[in-house]
Amino acid sequence: MSAQIKTLLQHPLSHSLTGMCLMGGWAAWSNSGFAMPAPLIAALTQGALTGGITFLMHRVVERVFAVSLCWFCAAVCGMATSALFLVGGHTIAGTPAFWQTIVVPLCGASIYTLSFGFSLRKTPYD
């Protein structure tokens, strides 16, 4: 894989754009049983939240890890950031299928922050 492609794939903006599309689609599908414009509002809300949250989580995990050197603490701070924005954003938007809509993005964010935080740790052999 070329260095340019690897750099692009590791950039937080790439992660944010991918998450926007995937989680926005999930929100539309999970609210599809409700009359329009509820699925559209949920999708746009989730897409915007995911884009912003992913970019912010990446920065939070990096900064907390830099200060604490605890990858798990950094991951928990990233998960808390995600939960705070998801709950707040969908509450403000009035998303009808609230819990169904946020459970998948919250699980995805948790996996993301745990794996990213774990990747930052230093082993005794480095």
Listed by start position, the domains of the chain span: 12-120
Q: Give yes or no for residue 110 having a pLDDT over 60.
A: yes
Q: Quick check: 125 pLDDT over 80? A: no
Residues 94-107 have pLDDT tens digits of 999 999 999 999 99
This prediction's pTM:
0.81
Which residues in 11-46 are b (16+ Cβ under 10 Å) and which e? eeeebbbebbebbbebbbbbbeeeeeebbebbbbbb
